[in-house]
């Protein structure tokens, strides 16, 4: 099977590329390298350095004619989206629509879309939030990701394009950049290993659902053959506070300083974790890497690069 992965030079996308290559698929990567890195790209994949909004993307589809599109590329910072909402709509909605139109024109058989379970539900009315939870994001990033979800059933009904939507919780692991659109695990890893001060935004009692990147990759493997027309949370069902995360990572990294507490960040959900029962039943997916194991693997990877 020939699979085009957008954002395949990025943190999560590159792990998905590795998983597809390991299964014997032919993999193409489209990435503008704004946050992705060339060295993340599997040597057996072909890299096209392109923005998903670029008209030249049509040349890639014409030349390669992929069977499946796996769409990871996105602007993905909640905080940046609060000050650049137009940019987030341009990339995450219009750029994605450009990709979807090309998928229709070149008769792609399936479109796997990576959405966000951490942002589309807003402040959850119940926890763990399942896929039936109402959609009410608190930031332009979440709004842009939720907006594009609506195009997929439309293209399925009108053009027969199969799709699966994966709503990720907070994915962490090796290759995550501690700068830019970084997650808290990557930020803490870099700060702790360098002996720098660590700042926790707000009280630290906010909770997130942390999923190891290898488990996210296996969800993308499952979505190749299963989940047509479905939306699936990819989470653990367990919330971990930032204070608890700090304590666990302090022990793993042998960090000796205390955390500082800064002001809370605008637009951020206070507590969110996801019910992934549907993914377990219909995709046959479940997380296999526990938090301590995943944090240790992540810190070890960062330590090797210090």
The answer to whether residue 181 scores a pLDDT higher than 80 is no
Q: Tell the residue number behind the tokens 């959850």, with chain if given.
A: 124
pLDDT of residue 277: 98
Quick one: average pLDDT of 184-194? 96
User: Active-site residues: which are they?
Assistant: 141
pLDDT interval class at 201 (50, 70, 90): very high
Q: Which two tokens stand for residue 7?
A: 């954002």
Question: 255-283 burial string, b = 16+ CB within 10 Å, else e?
Answer: beeebeeeeeeebbbeebbbbbebbeeeb
Q: How far apart are CA 112 and CA 135, in angstroms?
A: 20
Q: How far apart are CA 172 and CA 3, in angstroms?
A: 24
Tens digit of each residue's pLDDT (9 = 90 or more) over 266-290: 778 899 999 999 999 999 999 999 9
Task: Please state the φ and ψ torsions of residue 108, each to the nearest 5 degrees.
Answer: -60, 140
Q: Tell the residue number behind the tokens 């951490």, with chain if given.
A: 118
| 3-state SS string for 216-264 | HHHHHHHHHHCCCCEEEEECCCCCEEHHHHHHHHHHHHCCCCCCEEECC
Please state at what angle helix 184-193 crosses helix 291-305, rounded to 10 degrees. Answer: 50
Task: Enumerate domains of the chain plus CATH numbers.
Answer: 2-172+212-235+275-287 (3.40.50.720), 184-207+239-272+292-305 (3.90.25.10)
Residues 6+ apart with CB under 8 A from 135: 120, 121, 122, 146
pTM of the model: 0.97
- Determine how many CB atoms are found less than 10 A away from the CB of residue 82: 17
Q: What mean pLDDT, rounded, does the chain reach?
A: 96
Give 129: exposed, middle or buried? Use CB within 10 Å, 0-12, 13-18, 19+.
buried
Question: 150-178 burial string, b = 16+ CB within 10 Å, else e?
Answer: ebbeebeeeeebbbbbbbbbbbbbbbbbb
pLDDT of residue 306: 73
């Amino acid at each position: 099977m020939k699979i085009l992965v957008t954002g395949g030079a990025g943190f999560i996308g590159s792990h998905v590329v590795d998983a597809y290559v390991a299964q014997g698929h032919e993999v193409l990567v489209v990435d503008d390298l704004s946050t992705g890195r060339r060295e993340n790209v599997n040597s057996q994949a072909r890299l096209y350095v392109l923005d998903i909004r670029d008209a030249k993307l049509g040349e890639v589809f014409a030349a390669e004619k992929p069977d499946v599109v796996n769409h990871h590329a996105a602007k993905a910072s909640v905080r940046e989206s609060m000050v650049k909402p137009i940019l987030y709509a341009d990339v995450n909605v219009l750029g994605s629509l450009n990709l979807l139109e090309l998928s229709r024109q070149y008769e792609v058989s399936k479109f796997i879309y990576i959405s966000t379970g951490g942002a589309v539900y807003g402040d959850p009315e119940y926890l763990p939030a399942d896929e039936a939870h109402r959609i009410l994001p608190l930031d332009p990033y979440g709004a842009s990701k939720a907006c594009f979800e609506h195009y997929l059933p439309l293209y399925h009904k009108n053009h027969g394009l199969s799709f699966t939507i994966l709503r990720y919780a907070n994915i962490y692991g090796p290759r995550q950049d501690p700068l830019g659109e970084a997650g808290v695990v990557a930020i803490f890893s870099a700060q702790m290993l360098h002996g720098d001060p660590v700042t926790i935004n707000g009280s630290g009692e906010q909770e997130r659902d942390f999923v190891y990147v290898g488990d996210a990759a296996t969800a993308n493997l499952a979505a190749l053959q299963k989940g047509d027309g479905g939306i699936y949370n990819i989470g653990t069902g367990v919330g971990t506070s930032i204070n608890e995360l700090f304590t666990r990572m302090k022990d793993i990294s042998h960090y000796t300083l205390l955390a500082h507490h800064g002001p809370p960040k605008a637009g951020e959900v206070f507590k969110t974790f996801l019910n992934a029962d549907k993914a377990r039943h219909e995709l046959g997916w479940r997380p296999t890497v526990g938090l301590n194991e995943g944090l240790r693997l992540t810190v070890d990877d960062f330590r090797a690069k210090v």
